[in-house]
Chains A and B, each alone.
Chain A
């Protein structure tokens, strides 16, 4: 059994290791390692399209994760204060946001936004005082919103789990000692849920940064890093992609480890 488990871990990590190894390959071929070189990293980072896609992805992931962390935490707090029925409806919708396949989220958002824009844009044009009314279109905003849906549901669940394991005695003790609700929140509740909020933010960032399929539908004229990489892969495998893949993998691993470390913290540091 132990041998089998070791084999499964090898199965999980060897392909990743190979990608990383060949990103440092001096030669162009995947079948032989001809020497160490970091030339592909230089090539990747001097490719203007790639850098543009990377910047877009960083911006989208940061914005959607921040929005998700804020709204998700607020929702988790709000859900503590409502009846079982309202809670049930929210739980079902949040569960749906997580479980519905990305391809369905992508196309349904695309369809809804295109219809919405078809109504809103002529209206804006008719009421706008100048000749250049703003035109709503697919782009940063739609990717951020669509990623934020999954991320917000994720943050709500993570923070909600932490809230339900919160020590009620501390909250009661605080109000018995005449702390205002706001003080109780700031000094008791917030420090206890903060690791969950940070972990939620990091996972939301990772999700958005890695997502291909949702962005593929709602990106409009914008390009994110996964969309760019997908297009390059279809044109052919090059060590340049290995270099990007290595950077992305390293960043994701770092973020997940950070998130796990935050979730593992039982007590806030003083």
Chain B
């Protein structure tokens, strides 16, 4: 009897407890299910980013403090000798550090008027078509487009035409000028797009207000248009410059052996002379320089106005 009561009490208590636990459990279950789904959605991307971005970066960081094995490749060590040896590739660094900003600046000078025209002057119905015409080259093979210039600047291209009118022995290909031309050709779309985006969002009333207040077109441009488009300019400039720091194809195909870039040095160190630790130290330095460029560009553009997202397509 007493046992029955007891068990009844236990049952009741148990029942109450289980009801509460059930509610808590189902809430927890929903919470878990929700988190499980989130984890499942993010798992492939996380795995990919860890194995093919973070791990490789850690690997070259480790390699960069190692030593070259006698037969090529890597030998474990902890030394900063590779970094101390960086001046051995000073020419490549110098060429890259010169041509990257100069190339980005050339892209800017050619690209800004185009972006300005597209955003503020072009007829509405033409705007999207013209924009598409800018985007298409960006997504077509850089190799093929650089090849086109090899073709034009090479011995059978412009020099052959010039020979008809008596200008002989003009060398165009394999010069720094050819590399600069290839850079502008290859990266112009990447410069135009962000500038276009920042100009397109510009409040036209500001331009009218500036004119109404008696500003000349030039001072309106300098004080309003250019100032407000600076975030786009900084985005374009830093993107082009960072990609140029690692450029390999353009200097190889249009610069011959003369215009030696960091990209060429890396290919040489990894695929030919097999000095992986030194190559890793160069690659790490390259990434650090890129990060510094990005931070500076970001500082400048957030100081001038809020940072803006730019879509590449």
Question: A interface vs B, CB < 8 Å?
Answer: 1-2, 4-5, 8-9, 11-13, 15-16, 18-19, 22, 29-31, 70-72, 74-75, 77-79, 81-82, 90, 93-94, 96-97, 99-105, 107-113, 115, 145-146, 148-149, 152, 156-158, 161, 199, 203, 206-207, 209-210, 212-213, 216-217, 226, 229-230, 233, 237, 241-242, 245, 248-249, 252-253, 255-257, 259-260, 263-264
Contact = CB atoms under 8 A, between A and B. Distances in A.
Contacts of B280: 107, 111
- Sorted from nearest, which 3 A-B pairs have the closest CB atoms? A101-B246, A78-B41, A108-B56
Interface in B49-104: 49, 51-60, 63, 74
Contacts of B145: 15-16
B41 A75 contact: yes
A77 B44 CA distance: 12
Contacts of B49: 90, 93-94, 97, 149
Interface stretch (B16-24, B147-155, B206-214, B222-230): B147-155
Interface of B: 34, 37-42, 44-45, 48-49, 51-60, 63, 74, 110, 113-114, 116-118, 121, 128, 130, 132-137, 139-145, 147-152, 154, 156-157, 160-161, 185, 188-189, 239, 242-243, 245-249, 253, 263, 266-267, 270-271, 276, 279-280, 283, 286-287, 290, 294, 309, 311, 313
Contacts of B48: 71, 145, 148-149, 152
Nearest to B311: A161
Given A101-B243, A102-B246, A206-B139, A5 B290 contact: no
A47 to B, nearest CB: 17
B151 A237 contact: yes
Contacts of B56: 105, 108-109, 111-113
Contacts of A203: 139, 313
Contacts of A152: 45, 48
Contacts of A1: 113, 116-117, 121
Contacts of B253: 233
Nearest to B55: A112
Q: Which of B54, B151, B161, B290 has the most CB of A within 10 A?
A: B151
B34 to A, nearest CB: 7
Contacts of B42: 74-75, 78-79, 82, 90
Contacts of B148: 15-16, 18-19, 245
Contacts of B290: 99-101
A152 B142 CA distance: 21
8 contacts: A2-B121, A30-B151, A100-B53, A104-B287, A156-B45, A233-B253, A245-B148, A248-B140
Nearest to B142: A210
A241 B147 contact: yes
B198 to A, nearest CB: 17
Contacts of A104: 60, 246, 266, 283, 286-287
A71 B132 CA distance: 28
Contact of B139 (A94, A100, A109, A252): A252
B142 to A, nearest CB: 7
A38 B283 CA distance: 44
B142 A149 contact: no
Nearest to B111: A8
Given A29-B156, A101-B263, A149-B53, A18 B270 contact: no
Given A30-B151, A112-B56, A99 B239 contact: yes
Nearest to B159: A31
A217 B147 contact: no
B156 A99 contact: no
Contact of B287 (A12, A100, A237): A100
A29 B279 CA distance: 40
A267 B52 CA distance: 36
Contact of A2 (B117, B134, B247, B311): B117
B136 A257 contact: yes
Most buried by A among B113, B128, B148: B148
Nearest to A252: B140
A241 B201 CA distance: 42
Contacts of B287: 100, 104
Contacts of A148: 48, 52
A101 B60 CA distance: 14
B279 A15 contact: no
A256 B248 contact: no
Given A102-B246, A212-B249, 13 more contacts: A15-B145, A19-B144, A71-B48, A75-B45, A93-B54, A99-B290, A100-B290, A101-B245, A158-B313, A210-B142, A230-B249, A237-B151, A249-B140
A12 B149 CA distance: 11
